[in-house]
Every structure is written in structure tokens, then in C-alpha cells.
Amino acid sequence: MNSTGRLCMTGSLAAVVRLTNHWKAPAMGRWITGSSVCQRPTVSEVKVTALLKEKLNPTYLAVEDVSCGCGTSFTIHIDSEQFRGKRALQQHRMVNEALGEEMKEIHSVSIKIGSPND
């Protein structure tokens, strides 16, 4: 179970050790998540947050790794003055472009544009 209370393990593994916010099968050395097994976390919330802050100067930003620490799926809630006057598709493209090379390692991104009150 990770820090959000989600169980991040599939299949039946007899020997699984809990490590901080992830599960790890000791013999295999692989991270177990809800939908896949990854060798190591690829992209972190910290990295995604830093890239978005640098490129888009957000007025609001919340990034959550929803892949149980694997770094392959993120939920991003962001607002920026740079989005004003642009259509939703353009705003989402701006977020994807801000993530640059990291997008190659990310499987899915859910993006919500606007302030927390929107």
C-alpha cells in the first residue's frame, strides 16, 4: 500500500517487501504497480513540478504520481497566465511541450487547467 492508501500490487507474489511508498519483490528487484512492473521509477513528481514551474510559471500547480511511485502516470492540475485566451487543446499541448523529453517515459497524463476553485 502506498502513501495514498492504494494497493500497488497485481498477481500473486509470495515474498513481497514494503519499501516506503512502493512494493518490491526482493528476488526480482522490480517495482510492482497496479498495472505493470517497472524496473525503477522513471519520472518523479518533483521533476514534473520543476519542469512545469520553469516553462509555464503557474499561478497554481498540483502534480500527483498516480502510478504508485512508478513514474508513468500523472494527474496535473495547473493554471497559468500563459493559458489565457487559448483553447483547451492548446493549453494541454503547452503542458506536454513543457514536459519535453520526460513525456517519452510517461504513459499517461491527466491534465486539468484552472484554479482549484474552477
Q: What is the pLDDT of residues 55-73, one digit of tens each?
A: 999 999 999 999 887 888 9
List C-alpha distances in Å: 102 to 33, 46, 67, 91.
20, 12, 15, 18
Domain ranges of the chain: 45-113
Residue 62, beta-bridge partner list: 77
CATH architecture of 45-113: 2-Layer Sandwich (3.30)
Q: How much is the pLDDT for 117?
A: 79
Question: Which of 73, 59, 58, 52 lies closest to 4, judged by CA?
Answer: 73
In the block, residue with C-alpha cell 516506503: 20
Question: Over the chain, what is the mean pLDDT?
Answer: 75
Mean pLDDT of 46-63: 95
